[in-house]
Amino acid sequence: MALALRCLRPLPSLLHRSSFAMTRGLPQAPRGCPALLLEGCRQCVQQMLLSRQLATKKAKGKGQSQAKVNISAALVEDIINLEETSEDMQAVIEALKEDFSRNLSVRTSPGALDHITVVTKDGKFPLNQLGQISQKSPQLMIVNMTSFPESTAAAAKAIRESGMNLNPEVDGTVIRVPIPKVTREHRESLAKLAKQSTNKSKEALRKVRSKSITQVKKFKSKVSEDTIWLLEKQIQQMADQAATEMDKLLAAKTKELLG
């Protein structure tokens, strides 16, 4: 009995610092606590912390902001890898940044054509693997397809359908790509493409979120309802933060494009 009381004595202070415990993991029981009792203490603390979070949520009145959930990844690593979920969401954001940088610029440069995907009978290839891209003048780029002449037409089509407002002209194995003047219409077209790219990225983000929540729900019969709810809430918060970052990227890019 003395050992049990000794183990339970720290609980009030632990609950008082619940947010700290949730982010830093559960503390060890006092020295001398038997192994069986130690596990019981830790499970009790964990359940009480999770229940406290849920109770806080339910106590909120309509229209009031809810406290953010911040679960230690170590506490739930047997259910889901939250760090991996975060990395997957960040990868979607980075892909959007790369798309903005590479494909959505007011000024067209040879590098902007590098990764245009060309569909050939042998598969899909980046344009810079099939042809040599150079800038003849500020108003003209050249794509030399001498190494893969059979892919010239496919390369021209890929450039035309890239969404970069380019109208290539084929001359044998050479593709001439006139660079259009930067008109207001062109700027607005690029801004629309930026919005479309952002929407596609948000769809990819939703897939990451749904996949993670589905993984959590597989443990409904093994862990408490409170635990499931908190994990779903945490994943939704992560997705919301990623979506907010995408909106900021879009706003900055739109401002850049429209001038």
Rounded-to-10 torsion of CA 46, 50, 52, 57: 170
For 157-213, how does the pLDDT look when each residue is reduced to its tens digit (9 = 90+)? 999 988 777 899 999 999 999 987 778 888 898 899 999 999 999 999 999 999 999
Q: What is the pTM of this model?
A: 0.61
Count of positions (residues) in the chain: 259
For 123-145, how does the pLDDT look when each residue is reduced to its tens digit (9 = 90+)? 999 999 999 999 888 889 999 99
Q: Which residues of the chain does CATH 1.10.132.20 include?
A: 73-104+183-258
Fold of 73-104+183-258: Topoisomerase I; Chain A, domain 4 (1.10.132)
114-125 average pLDDT score: 91
Fold of 110-178: Gyrase A; domain 2 (3.30.1360)
Q: Which residues of the chain does CATH 3.30.1360.40 include?
A: 110-178
Instruction: List strands edge to edge, sheet with 132-137.
Output: 132-137, 140-144, 174-178, 169-171
CA dihedral (211, 214, 218, 221) positive or negative = positive
CA dihedral (220, 24, 65, 90) positive or negative = negative
For 44-61, how does the pLDDT look when each residue is reduced to its tens digit (9 = 90+)? 445 444 444 444 544 454
